[in-house]
Amino acid sequence: MANLGFVGLGVMGSEMVKRLLSKGHSVKGFNRTKSKAEWLIKEGMQWADSPRTVAAPADVVFSMVTNSAALQAIVEGPDGILAGLAPGKIYVDISTVSPEYSRSVAEKVRAKGADMVDAPVSGSVITLQEGKLSVMVGGRKETFEKIKPLLQDIGPKVTYVGENGLALVIKIACNLSLAVQMLAFSEGVLLAEKSGISREVAVDVLTNSAIASPMIKYRGPFVLKLPEEAWFNVNMMQKDMLLALELGRNLDVPMPSTAVTNEFLTAARGMGLVEKDFAVVFDVLAEMSGVKR
């Protein structure tokens, strides 16, 4: 049993807290909107009024927020996580943010005598609920070994990648492929549909074929019906695609399929679909093809 803190109780963060509570850990949490955390309080999570008051009593504090700006907002300032850290504490950021910014936060954490790792995850809410989430970790190896059992309580597959920031790099590499696969899948479905094959049959065949990655198996059916609540919306996916394109420029790695797919996400924004699951790239391509959802 560990004394934990958790900042950022969105869809994924709240499910992680639920798993940690179920493993017997004590968790104190904070979220910008308290109402979203009420169900966790009923599950046994303690409420804190700021990121600082989450971090101060915790041996290990986690965070999961939307982007680099959101991370800066919860880390810095008089009520931020940094203000609550002390020597010996460990900070685990699960957010998908700029590797460069994450490294700068790690330097500030170490200046306080604490340590930090980046630990983004691969998987969806369903993957998390089923206990199949993958966790990638960047930071000092000795710190990784200390927190590995805690991370395994969140997801069974925990992989040490290397120094700070590198787990974020591999997470970005994973996510760019999700969007690219979804666009390619949409092309295949629409090609079949306009040839006279029903969309349902096309989805059934493709999701049980050689191209059916785990992502295609669970997100492919979204071309038939989008979920009411996005698992991973256009805004969040485009943030990751832009991070990928930035890394590609910095490292001289051409990113042609990422660049094209990113334009479809921009089109989705222009069509007012920014809050929809990124599988909505199907709708963008369907509109261009003269096909209705």
Catalytic residues: 171
Q: CA 4: distance to chain centroid?
A: 20
Among the residues of 7-59, which ranges form H helices? 11-22, 38-43, 51-55
Cβ burial 269-284 (10 Å sphere, 16+ → b, else e): eeeebbebbbbbbbbb
**How many angstroms separate the CA atoms of 18 and 25, rounded?**
10
C-alpha span between 293 and 282 (Å, rounded): 9
**Gap between the Cα atoms of 65 and 63, Å rounded:** 7
